[in-house]
Structure 1
Amino acid sequence: MRAFAELLDRLSLTGSRNAKLTLVRDYLAATPDPDRGWALAALTGELVFHAAKPAFIRKAVEERMDPILFRWSYDYVGDLAETVALVWPQRPGANREPELAEVVEALRSASRAEVQRLIEAWLDALEPTSRWALLKLMTGELRVGFSARLAKQAAADLGPVPVSEVEEVWHALHPPYEDLFAWLEGRSDRPSPTSPGRFRPVMLAQAIDEAVDFGKLDPADYAAEWKWDGIRVQAVSEAGTRRLYTRTGDDISRTFPDVLESLNYEGVLDGELLVVRDGRVAPFADLQQRLNRKSVDAKLMGAYPAAIRAYDLLADGAEDVRPLPFAERRKRLEAFVARLGSARIDLSPLQPFETWGELADLRATPPPGDPEIAEGLMLKRWDSIYEAGRPKGPWFKWKRDPFLIDAVLMYAQRGHGKRSSYYSDYTFGVWCEGPDGGRMLTPVGKAYFGFTDEELLQLDKFVRDNTVERFGPVRAVRAEPHAGLVLEVAFEGLQRSTRHKSGVAMRFPRISRIRWDKPPGEADELATLERMLEKLEAR
Structure 2
Amino acid sequence: MNDFAELLDRLAFEPRRNAKLRLMEDFFRTTPDPERGYALAALTGGLSFRNAKPGLVRALIAERTDPVLFALSYDYVGDLSETVALMWPPPSQAGTGHNAPPPRLADVVEGLSMAAKTELPGLLARWLDALDETGRWALLKLITGALRIGVSARLAKTAVAGLGRVDPNAVEELWHGLTPPYEPLFAWLEGRADRPEGLVVAPFRPPMLSHPLDEEELSRLDPAEFCAEWKWDGIRIEAVRELTPEGRRIVRLYSRTGEDITGSFPDLCEALIAEDAFVGALDGELLVLRGGRVESFNVLQQRLNRKAITPRLMQEFPAHIRAYDLLGEGEEDLRPLPFAERRRRLEALVARLAGGRVDLSPLVPFVSWEELVAARARPSEAGAGIDAEAVEGVMLKRRDSPYVPGRPKGLWYKWKHDPHLVDAVLMYAQRGHGKRSSYYSDYTFGLWRSGPEGEELVPVGKAYFGFTDEELKELDRFVRRETVNRFGPVREVVHTGERGLVLEVAFEGVQQSTRHKSGVAMRFPRISRIRWDKPPREADRLDYLAGLLPRGETMKTRAGKT
Fold match (TM-score > 0.5): yes
| Mapped pair 1:422 → 2:427 | no
- 1:258 partner letter: D
Higher mean Cα deviation, 327-336 or 121-130?
A: 327-336
The Cα shift of 1:191 comes to 2.1
Q: Look up the SS of the partner of 1:369 in the other structure.
A: helix
Shift in Å at residue 64 of structure 1? 2.1
Residue 82, structure 1, aligned to residue 56, structure 2:
no
> What aligned pairs does 1:467-482 form with structure 2 within 5 A after superposition?
467-482=483-498
Greater shift, 294-303 or 94-103, is seen at: 294-303
In the other structure, the counterpart of 2:162 is: 157
Following the alignment from structure 2 to structure 1, what is the Cα–Cα distance between the partners of residues 469 and 430?
16
Question: Residue by residue, what CA displacement relative to the aligned partner does 1:270-298 show, whole Å, maximum 9, x if unpaired?
Answer: 11111111111112122112222232112
Deviation digits for residues 193-251 of structure 1 (CA, Å, limit 9, x no counterpart): 67312111111112224323531x22111111111111111111212222111011111
User: 2:482 matched to which residue of 1?
Assistant: 466
Structure 2: distance between partners of 1:62 and 1:124: 15
Report sequence identity in percent. 63
Task: Tell me: CA distance 1:354–1:529, structure 2 relative to 1, closer, same or farther (3 Å).
Answer: same
Q: Is this contact kept in 2: 1:378–1:398, CA < 8 A?
A: yes
Following TM superposition, by how much is the alpha carbon of 1:469 offset from its aligned partner in structure 2, in angstroms? 1.1
Indicate yes or no: 2:389 matched with 1:384. no
**1:108 counterpart residue number:** 113
Which residue of 307, 310, 331 corresponds with 1:318? 331
Q: Deviations over 1:428-459 (max 9, x none)?
A: 111111213x2211111111110112211111
Aligned counterparts of 1:459 and 1:327: Cα–Cα separation in 2? 49
What amino acid does structure 2 have at the position aligned with 1:82? E
* Aligned equivalents of 2:388, 2:488: Cα separation in 1: 40
Is residue 306 of structure 1 aligned with residue 319 of structure 2?
yes
1:335 to 348, 358, 363: 348
- Over 3 Å counting, the alpha-carbon distance change for 1:273 and 1:120 in structure 2 is same
For normalisation by structure 2, the TM-score amounts to 0.91
Distance 2:550 2:182 in 1: 53
Paired residue type of 2:322: R
C-alpha contact (below 8 Å) 1:409/1:429 kept by paired residues: yes
- How much does 1:181 deviate? 1.9
1:135-284 matched pairs, under 5 angstroms: 135-192=140-197, 195-215=200-220, 217-239=221-243, 240-263=249-272, 264-265=274-275, 266-284=279-297
The superposition leaves residues 495-531 of structure 1 with CA deviations (integer Å, 9 ceiling, x where unpaired) of: 3333332232221110000111111111112222233
Which of 398, 408, 413 is the equivalent residue of 2:415?
Answer: 398
Tell me the secondary structure at the aligned position of residue 328 of structure 1: helix
1:456 aligns with 2:472: yes
Contact 1:5 1:133 in 2 (8 A): yes
Does the 8 A contact of 1:481 with 1:519 survive in 2? yes
Count the aligned residue pairs: 536
TM-score (normalizing by structure 1) = 0.95
The answer to which of 65-74 and 331-340 deviates more is: 65-74
Instruction: Give 1:189 shift.
Output: 2.0
C-alpha distance after superposition, 1:464-494 (max 9, x if no partner): 1111111101111101111000000001112
Question: Structure 1 residue 537: deviation in Å?
Answer: 8.4
Q: CA deviation at 1:23?
A: 1.6
Contact persistence 2:511–2:550 (CA under 8 A):
no
> Contact 1:491/1:507 (CA < 8 Å) preserved in 2?
yes
**CA–CA distance in 1 between the matches of 2:506 and 2:425?**
13
C-alpha separation between the residues in 1 aligned to 2:485 and 2:68? 20
| Partner secondary structure for residue 398 of structure 1 | strand
Aligned-residue offset at 1:318: 3.0
Q: Point out the more displaced range, 166-175 or 253-262.
A: 166-175
Residue 399 of structure 1, CA deviation: 1.2
**Which deviates more from structure 2 when the two are superposed, residues 500-509 or residues 307-316?**
500-509
User: 1:534 and 1:37, CA in 2 relative to 1: closer, same or farther beyond 3 A?
Assistant: closer
Listed one character per residue, the Cα deviations across residues 157-192 of structure 1 (whole Å, up to 9, x for unaligned) are 222122122222222222212222222222222222
Indicate conservation of the 8 Å contact 1:380/1:394, yes or no. yes
Deviates more, 1:220-229 or 1:368-377: 368-377
1:294 lines up with 2:304 in the alignment = no
Does structure 1 conserve the Cα–Cα contact (< 8 Å) formed by 2:218 and 2:369? no
Deviation at 1:372, TM superposition (A): 4.0
- What SS class does the counterpart of residue 33 from structure 1 fall into? coil
State the Cα distance separating 1:536 from its structure 2 match. Answer: 11
Q: SS where residue 442 of structure 1 aligns? A: strand
Partners in 2 of 1:381 and 1:412 — Cα distance? 45
Do the aligned residues in 2 keep the contact of 1:254 with 1:295 (CA within 8 Å)? Answer: no
Residue 358 (structure 2) aligns with = 345
The amino acid across from 2:129 in the alignment is: D
1:439-518 equivalences under 5 Å are 439-518=455-534
- The CA deviation string for residues 311-362 of structure 1, in whole angstroms up to 9 with x for no partner, is 1112223322222221121122112122112222111111111111211111
Partner SS, residue 225 of structure 1: strand
Counterpart of 1:93?
A: 98
CA distance in 2, matches of 1:84, 1:534: 45
Residue identity opposite 2:321 in structure 1:
I
Query: What is the one-letter code of the residue matched to 2:130?
Result: A
Residues 476 and 368 (structure 1), Cα distance of their counterparts in 2 relative to 1, 3 Å cut? farther
How many Å separate the matches in 2 of 1:536 and 1:377?
25
Q: Any idea what the Cα deviations from partners look like across 1:403-429, whole Å, max 9, x if unmatched?
A: 111111011122222222221111111
Alpha-carbon distance between aligned partners in 1 of 2:474 and 2:42, rounded to the nearest angstrom: 34
In structure 1, the residue matched to 2:5 is 5
In 2 relative to 1, CA 210–305 (structure 1 residues): closer, same or farther, beyond 3 Å? Answer: same
In the TM superposition, residue 299 of structure 1 has moved relative to its aligned partner by 1.9
8 A Cα contact 1:172 1:192, kept in partner:
no
Partner Cα separation in structure 2 for residue 73 and residue 371 of structure 1: 51
- Supply the distance in 1 between the matched residues of 2:228 and 2:553 (Cα, whole angstroms): 25
Instruction: Provide the C-alpha distance between the structure 1 equivalents of 2:521 and 2:3, rounded to a whole number of angstroms.
Output: 44
* 1:186 counterpart SS class: coil
Equivalent position amino acid for 1:140 in 2: G
- Match of 1:236, as an amino acid? V
Q: Which residue of 2 aligns with 1:409?
A: 426
1:51-83 CA distance string (max 9 Å, x none):
211121112222222334333332332211111
Deviation at 1:533, TM superposition (A): 4.1
Corresponding position of 2:94: none
Distance 1:159 1:536, change over 3 A: farther
For residues 368-413 of structure 1, the C-alpha deviation after alignment (integer angstroms, 9 at most, x for no partner) is: 4346422211111122221211111221111111111111101112
Selected match of 2:541 from 525, 528, 535: 525
Report the RMSD for the aligned CA atoms in angstroms.
1.9
Counterpart-to-counterpart distance in 2, 1:290 and 1:112: 32
1:365 alignment partner, one of 378, 381, 385: 378
